[in-house]
Chain A
Amino acid sequence: MSIIQFIQQPWHWAVGGLFIGLTVPLLLLLGNKALGISSTLRQICAACFPAYISFFKYDWKAQAWNLFFVGGILIGGILAGCFLEGNAPIEVAAATQQRLQAYHITDYSQLLPAEIFNWSNLFTLKGLIFFVIGGFLVGFGTRYAGGCTSGHSIMGLSNLQWPSLVATICFMAGGFFSANIIVPWIFKLLNA
């Protein structure tokens, strides 16, 4: 078995977690950088549309490393999809499959359901909710919280920061509420 074939296999969660965890010391050792992705969204605002807003008047170029990092994530996604079976079907829990069936989500051939993540949905109510509103909440919420899953839940918790624990608990609370109350309501609305 070649190394590529070895990586192509589905990864156990512990392997995925190990490498995600190791990214923390990797960035520290490479140049004393703290893992944190959502700040790149602020940098893009500061670079492209600062609009005299004080929140975007800072030396974003000093943090340019982060833009290279997210560019790398995009390339990593391409490589994983093209060469490492990254988009192979996954075994989704039966109980979740049952709930998704009621939402008319039945395509498990890829990592994301084709019924949602499809250009043909862009100018529909589905697209408005899942891409435009969902994305807005992610961008607004992470910046308001001062970080996302990487900056708070991985980096912040790794450095034993209690504000990051508060943030992580709130991410989870919002997610539980959303997945169990809002998402079912969205599909009820869409499939009505």
Chain B
Amino acid sequence: MKNIKYLLAGIFFGVVLVKAQVISWFRIQEMFQLTSFHMYGVIGTGVVVGIMAVQLIKRFHIKTFDGQPISIAPKKFDKGQIYGGLIFGIGWAITGACPGPLFAQIGLGFTVVAVTLISAIAGTWVYGLLEKKLPH
């Protein structure tokens, strides 16, 4: 039951993804056609708020609600961030969704996106199969 709080946080995040319209296929097309500032505004604001929050947590050694220390694992660079990033970007513009929005789109009533989600799981599985053969 310790995970219920993450379910609630997910409900919050899901509502935010929908109301921020970042799950809209139209908004993704606008972003990549450079015809609207909306997505840049959302992501830019999110990053600025996130940076400030993480800096505050680090500077003041803020602990979790139940008193545990907070530490964030650093991201390690490998070539996957380039190749995989480009591949994901291509898919993002086609589906109009990254993984989080897939779940929100299904919830919003676009149930056919469940097929996209299953295919994304299959893509992840094939990556796992080929992991050692791919350049990193």
Q: Are A86 and B19 in contact (CB under 8 A)?
A: yes
Q: How many residues of A contact B (CB 8 A)?
A: 129
B94 and A73 form a contact (CB under 8 A): no
Task: Decide yes or no: A87 and B89 within 8 Å by CB, A140-B123, A144-B84 being known contacts.
Answer: no
With A141-B86, A178-B90 as contacts: A45 and B128 at CB distance below 8 Å: yes
How far is B16's CA from A28's CA once the two chains are assembled, in angstroms? 18
Say yes or no: A166-B77 contact (C-beta < 8 A), given A76-B10, A86-B18, A157-B51: yes
Shortest C-beta distance, A101 to chain B (Å), equals: 12
Set of chain B residues within 8 Å of A15, measured between Cβ atoms: 20
Encode contact with B along A6-19: 1 for CB under 8 Å, 0 otherwise: 01000101111111
Contacting pair A144 B80 (CB below 8 A): yes
Looking at the complex, which one of A16, A38, A138 makes contact with B16 (CB distance below 8 Å)?
Answer: A16
**Contacts of A97-145 to chain B: CB distance below 8 A:** 99-100, 108, 111-113, 116-119, 121-122, 127, 129-145
Q: Bound complex: CA of A79 vs CA of B50, how far in Å?
A: 25
- Contact between chains at B26 and A90 (CB < 8 Å): yes
CB distance from B45 to the nearest CB of A (A): 2
Contact A140 B87 (CB under 8 A): yes
Partner of A179, one of B14, B32, B102: B32
| A179 to B29 CA separation, bound complex (whole angstroms) | 6
Are A182 and B13 interface neighbours, CB within 8 A? no
Please, what's the 1-or-0 string for A69-94, where 1 marks a CB less than 8 Å from any CB in chain B?
Answer: 11111111111110010110010111
**Bound complex: CA of A94 vs CA of B35, how far in Å?**
8
